[in-house]
């Protein structure tokens, strides 16, 4: 119920942001991508678009150049990110449309990050027990996000997975409450954002 109330309050902000995104660069305001949810089920995740319109084709070119043929991690100073997109990512406001995923029951407010299918497939072969993180619903925010931020390689991903496992093992109201407080810190300071 609280999520629905917040969604109604956030709707005017969302409409203003959508207009700003459309004015900033050509393309849709909302970015949709298939991600893995609880039990490995696929669903469409919604975010405010923070990259140029042809970012996915640019991603495919980067993956083709990747010598390991594995997952392409977040890049520092990614040229695909729009000027407004940098601000939205730094404040995590680009995640607001995911409240729709929460209302639909595909995500939770708190939990492991919902991963891109190809990225998850690549990591399952290199990170032990990676798929165990899919036993719970993915979250808009989570222990791994507030403690580590984005991963830029397999070693950092392993650390994030350990944070996800810690959350799954120690799940409680108080841990969720702490994550909410740390999420506020992330929004205010931009900790771990790319």
Asked if residue 84 lies in contact with residue 21, where contact means CB atoms within 8 angstroms, the answer is yes
At residue 100, the 3 state secondary structure works out as helix
The secondary element (H helix, E strand) that includes residue 46 is: strand 42-48
**Each residue of 53-105: pLDDT tens digit?**
777 776 666 666 655 455 555 666 788 889 999 999 888 889 999 999 999 99
Q: pLDDT digits over 134-170, tens only?
A: 899 999 999 998 988 777 777 788 888 899 999 999 9
Coil, strand or helix at 143: helix
Per-residue pLDDT at 64 = 62
Q: How many Cβ atoms are within 10 Å of 10's Cβ, its own excluded?
A: 15
Pair of tokens at residue 194: 């790319």
Considering only residues 113 and 6, tell me which one the structure prediction assigns the higher pLDDT. 113
Q: What are the two backbone dihedrals, phi and then psi, of residue 141, each rounded to the nearest 5 degrees? A: -130, 165
- For residues 178, 31, 154, 38, the Cα torsion angle rounded to the nearest 10 degrees is 60
Mean pLDDT of 177-186: 90
**What pLDDT does 68 receive?**
46
Which pTM value belongs to this model? 0.80
Q: How much is the average pLDDT of 167-187? A: 92
| 118, pLDDT greater than 90 | no
Token pair listed for 37: 């949810």
* Per-residue model confidence as pLDDT tens digits over 15-67: 899 999 998 888 899 999 999 999 989 999 999 999 887 777 766 666 666 55
pLDDT at 179: 94
């Amino acid at each position: 119920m609280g999520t629905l109330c917040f969604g109604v309050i956030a709707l005017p902000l969302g409409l203003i942001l959508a207009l700003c995104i459309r004015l900033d660069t050509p393309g849709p305001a909302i970015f949709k991508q298939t991600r893995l949810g609880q039990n490995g089920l696929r669903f469409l995740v919604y975010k405010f678009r923070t990259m140029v319109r042809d970012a996915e084709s640019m991603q495919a070119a980067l993956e083709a150049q990747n010598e390991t043929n594995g997952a392409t991690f977040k890049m520092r100073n990614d040229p695909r990110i729009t000027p407004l997109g940098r601000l939205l990512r730094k404040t995590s406001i680009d995640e607001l449309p995911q409240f729709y995923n929460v209302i639909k029951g595909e995500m939770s407010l708190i939990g492991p990050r919902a991963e891109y299918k190809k990225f998850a497939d690549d990591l399952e072969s290199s990170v032990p027990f990676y798929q165990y993180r899919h036993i719970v619903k993915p979250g808009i925010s989570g222990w791994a996000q507030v403690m580590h931020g984005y991963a830029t390689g397999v070693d950092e991903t392993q650390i994030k997975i350990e944070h996800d496992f810690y959350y799954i093992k120690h799940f409680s109201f108080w841990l969720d409450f702490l994550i909410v407080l740390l999420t506020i810190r992330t929004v205010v300071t931009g900790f771990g954002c790319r």
